[in-house]
């Protein structure tokens, strides 16, 4: 069977903690507000913005929402080694990021799909996700795709936001200097890889959120 969604509620509960196997580091979750994202078309894109933004190669998800402004937040894990003293520069990793459509619990989860993707074609524990080659993920509206030139040339507002923060994990809300579009970007867990995005739905079947899991925190139901 394809990969199943795990306990994302736990990932976004402040104070949730975990320990890696073999006496590895421990992690504690806190939730960081990324601000509001404008979705003038309601068509959501998630990708590595340094690689894909402005290329025209990334489609929005087939699941759409009403146009509006919606909050983005990240589940940030603070990692410490056994016996490590508190630090002014803690080891932070973005465990997951979500675009909140409705402030209510998701009771079901489904993969966020691009046109032509069929979960029935996936093998055991496989998933559809976006590839990361620059250690970064984001959410934005499909209409903003061409509004952020220069990322591939190590310049522009996307580069300015990360470089100006000392490459802090974010989240960073970035506005196009010309068109007024925005996006919210963040580091992608441990870095490069492929990561699934899930659509959460409430009891009435309506979308509550889009959530990308960066596989930083182990599944609390396993082990």
Summarize pLDDT for 37-81 with one digit per residue, the tens: 999 999 999 999 999 888 888 899 999 999 999 999 999 999 998
**Whole-number pLDDT of residue 154:** 64
Name residue, tokens 């990969």: 3
**Whole-number pLDDT of residue 153:** 59
Summarize pLDDT for 128-179 with one digit per residue, the tens: 999 999 999 999 999 998 887 655 556 788 888 998 899 999 999 999 877 7
Summarize pLDDT for 89-132 with one digit per residue, the tens: 789 999 999 999 999 999 999 999 999 999 999 999 999 999 99
Distance CA 140, CA 103 (A): 19
The pTM of this model reads 0.94
CA 146 to chain centre: 20
Coil, helix or strand at residue 119: helix
**Whole-number pLDDT of residue 107:** 95
Contacts of 179 (CB under 8 A, 6+ apart): 144, 147
Contacts of 180 (CB under 8 A, 6+ apart): 147
**Whole-number pLDDT of residue 133:** 95
Summarize pLDDT for 188-215 with one digit per residue, the tens: 999 999 999 999 999 999 999 999 999 9
Residues listed for the chain: 223
**Whole-number pLDDT of residue 120:** 93
The domain spans of the chain are: 8-213
């Amino acid at each position: 069977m394809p990969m199943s969604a795990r306990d994302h509620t736990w990932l976004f509960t402040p104070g949730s903690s975990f320990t890696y196997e073999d006496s590895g580091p421990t992690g504690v979750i806190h939730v960081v507000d990324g601000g509001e994202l404008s979705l003038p078309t309601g068509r959501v894109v998630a990708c590595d913005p340094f690689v894909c933004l402005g290329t025209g190669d990334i489609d929005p998800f087939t699941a759409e929402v009403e146009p509006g402004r919606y909050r983005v937040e990240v589940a940030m894990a603070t990692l410490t080694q056994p016996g490590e003293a508190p630090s002014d520069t803690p080891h932070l990793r973005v465990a997951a990021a979500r675009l909140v459509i409705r402030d209510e619990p998701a009771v079901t989860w489904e993969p966020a799909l691009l046109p032509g993707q069929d979960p029935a074609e996936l093998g055991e524990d496989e998933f559809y996700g976006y590839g990361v080659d620059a250690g970064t993920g984001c959410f934005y509206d499909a209409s903003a795709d061409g509004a952020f030139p220069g990322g591939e040339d190590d310049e522009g507002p996307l580069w300015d936001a990360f470089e100006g923060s000392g490459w802090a994990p974010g989240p960073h809300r970035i506005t196009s200097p010309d068109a007024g579009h925005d996006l919210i970007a963040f580091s992608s867990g441990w870095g490069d890889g492929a990561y699934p995005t899930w659509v959460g739905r409430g009891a009435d079947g309506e979308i509550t959120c889009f959530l990308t899991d960066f596989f930083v925190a182990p599944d609390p139901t396993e082990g």
